[in-house]
Structure 1
Amino acid sequence: MAKHELKILPEYLEAVVDGSKTFEIRKNDRNFSVGDTVFLNEFDGEKMTGRWTERVITYITDYEQKEGYIVMGIARP
């Protein structure tokens, strides 16, 4: 299983942390796989803030996505 460090904007990180956002749409440039860990690091548009959360990829689909993009279901480890 791989580990991925990803940037995320504050409003999206907050939604992941509070549980209302259980997915990520990303370019699949890292060969994401079910079971991989993603570290979502808050980026305010200029710098990393130091806030982060960890999630595990539980599901992946590219259905109806732009070429090269996927939707990942994510959950707490």
Structure 2
Amino acid sequence: MKRRYKKSWTHFFQAIKGGRKLHDVREDDGYQIGDILVLQEFDNINGRYTGAEIEVEVTYITNRTVPCAFSSAVLSPGHCILSLKVLA
């Protein structure tokens, strides 16, 4: 299990924090189930971090090694879909 700090644009950050977005598409840099991501809210309009952070746990990974029905057709090489659980 690794702890990783990741930039998250405000609209994605707020949706994940609010429990409406339970996944994230990312470059696949060796994520493992159980990794903890510290998402740092980034205001992409003003080009700066807001200081807000949330922790999420990676609960499932869809990629070319562990595909779903359409992932090989729609997922760019080198990318993955992370299923997330917000930690309290």
Instruction: Decide: shared fold, TM above 0.5.
Output: yes
How many angstroms apart in 2 are the aligned matches of 1:61 and 1:12?
19
After superposing on structure 2, the runs of 4+ consecutive aligned residues of structure 1 that deviate more than 2 Å are none
How many angstroms apart in 2 are the aligned matches of 1:23 and 1:76?
11
Two-structure CA RMSD over aligned residues (Å): 0.9
Q: Which runs of 5+ in 1 are unaligned?
A: none
Q: Which has the larger radius of gyration?
A: 2
What are the superposed Cα offsets for residues 10-37 of structure 1, whole Å, 9 maximum, x if unpaired?
11111001100001100012x1000000
- The one-letter amino acid paired with 1:33 is Q
Q: Which runs of 5+ in 2 are unaligned?
A: none
**What is the 5 A alignment of 1:2-41?**
2-29=2-29, 31-41=30-40
Q: Secondary structure at the match of 2:6?
A: strand
- The one-letter amino acid paired with 2:78 is G
What TM-score do you get using the length of structure 2 for normalisation?
0.82
Are the equivalent residues in 1 in contact too, given 2:37–2:56 (CA < 8 A)?
yes
* 1:47 Cα deviation from its structure 2 partner: 1.1
- The one-letter amino acid paired with 2:26 is R
What TM-score do you get using the length of structure 1 for normalisation?
0.93
